[in-house]
Amino acid sequence: MKKSVFGLFLILTLSACKHSAKDPDLTVTNAETAISKDDITKQTISDRHGDEMEIIMNNTKDIVTVHLNGKTYELKKNHENAGFSSEDSKYLFTETKNEVTFLQKDVDMVLFHGKKNQAETKMASQ
């Protein structure tokens, strides 16, 4: 009886030890982080009253995000006319070489108008 219990114990031990330390069924995968390949630029512009507007432009997706007075506006490229407008065409953002204008179209009210930093855009005089 002792021999059969000992034999059974020995068989179970040997069969359990045949398993390798590393499980070949498990593979380690390195999770790759998604790196944005979008062309994004950020700038802050002040107007003559000292108000600041932060502009985040995603040139790849043609989207402009405007932060003004604690509110965030997301505007998309308007292919009908120059500038960016909101989905409901309530707001319009236009940018020229030296100026930025953000207005509310339904009441014809300029919410922000500022000039870009002239020191960055001036060319050296000769």
In a domain, residue 17? The reply is no
CB contact at 8 A, 92 and 102: yes
The per-residue pLDDT for 126 is 46
For residue 47, the domain's CATH number is 2.40.128
Tell me the residue range of the domain where 86 lies.
40-121
In a domain, 22, yes or no: no
Give domain status of residue 27, yes or no: no
Indicate whether 48 belongs to any domain: yes
Give the number of C-alpha atoms closer than 13 A to the C-alpha of residue 44, restricted to the C-beta side.
Answer: 5
Q: Each residue of 73-116: pLDDT tens digit?
A: 998 887 777 777 777 778 888 888 888 888 888 887 888 888 87
Query: Is residue 103 assigned to a domain?
Result: yes
Structurally, the chain folds into a number of domains equal to: 1
Against a cut of 0.85, is the pTM above it? Answer: no
Cα separation, 93 vs 74, whole angstroms: 10
Question: Does residue 82 lie in a domain region?
Answer: yes
How many angstroms separate the CA atoms of 66 and 6, rounded? 78
Q: What is the pLDDT of residues 11-53, one digit of tens each?
A: 766 666 555 555 555 555 555 666 768 888 898 988 888 889 9
